[in-house]
Amino acid sequence: MTRVLLTTTSFQDTPGIHHEMLEAAGFEIVRERGPLPESRMLELAGQFDAYLCGDDAMTRAVMEKSLPRLKVISKYGIGLDKIDLASAKDLGLPVLFTPGVNHTTVAEHTFALLLAVVRNLVVEANHVAAGRWTRITGNELCGKTLLLVGLGRIAKEVAVRARAFGLKVVVFANHWDEDFARWQGLERVETLDEGLKLADFVTLHTKLTEKTKGLLDARRLALLKDGAVIVNTGRGELIDLDALVAAIKSGKLRYGADVLDQEPPPADHPLLGLAGVTLTPHIGSRTHESVQRQASCAVENLTRFLAGKEPIARAV
């Protein structure tokens, strides 16, 4: 019987048709609570025919120890930065993923974070819960400028919602969709620096690569207007952490994020408890609707591949 390691917690914790699909496949399922570090993956490596994974550490060492038994990695989600794709390709190990399943959900969460920051929603709700009627003056979105970094599926959904809020939207992106930009009235900036100078709000929707790691460093953060807001639903490592913390502490900017450089963060992580910061525990795609789409796609990818059929989407 095909033995599969299932690690993604949102898959396991959210009811839906994906559970029926996985049961119908007839696999032997071993469940762990991910994301798993390399040390744990190395302990498990070599015992499975397939991984149905989230953001677990899929390093070359893990892959090498997993072979020859391991036949495929089926990624739940679209982010592939935790998987060493170069090593997977070198080792001939297929990697499947699930594009196009969470753009609506993550775009909605992007606005939830933006509104939470500009209207001090978490702070104010906590005041009231504690019996304090403390009122803080916030900001409107309407009439402000939003910089989108990236123009993929999620960024496009953010752009549509931004226009409804009365925001002017400028975009820095390598990929440009002229028809969509014209339809939504988007303005393209040629450099990230140019966009940062214009922005009241910045939302990050680009992949984490060696080129984008630390994309927003101290020099670029200094280009932002005082009081600007950055919302990060991409990856924590897109921003230089030390520079970000310094800018927040100085009052230069405010920050809303669903992602961190370490997940879950250590108790002494410098962003925890910092004034002007709203953090959520990587739940941007964790809605009942999105989880079922992602999980069903990941299971279908896996079952199709193991049956010798073409999967829905393959990265390697």
Q: Which residues are catalytic?
A: 235, 263, 282
Q: What 8-state DSSP symbol labels residue 268?
A: T
Residue for token digits 């101290």? 218
What type of residue is 301?
N
Residue 80: partners with Cβ closer than 8 Å, 6 or more residues away = 95, 97, 207, 315
Q: Write 214-223 long-range contacts (CB < 8 A, 24+).
A: 214/238, 214/239, 214/240, 215/149, 215/239, 216/240, 216/243, 216/244, 217/243, 218/242, 218/243, 218/246, 218/247, 220/192, 220/193, 220/196, 221/247, 221/252, 221/253, 222/247, 222/252, 223/193, 223/196, 223/197
Distance, CA of 191 to chain centre? 23
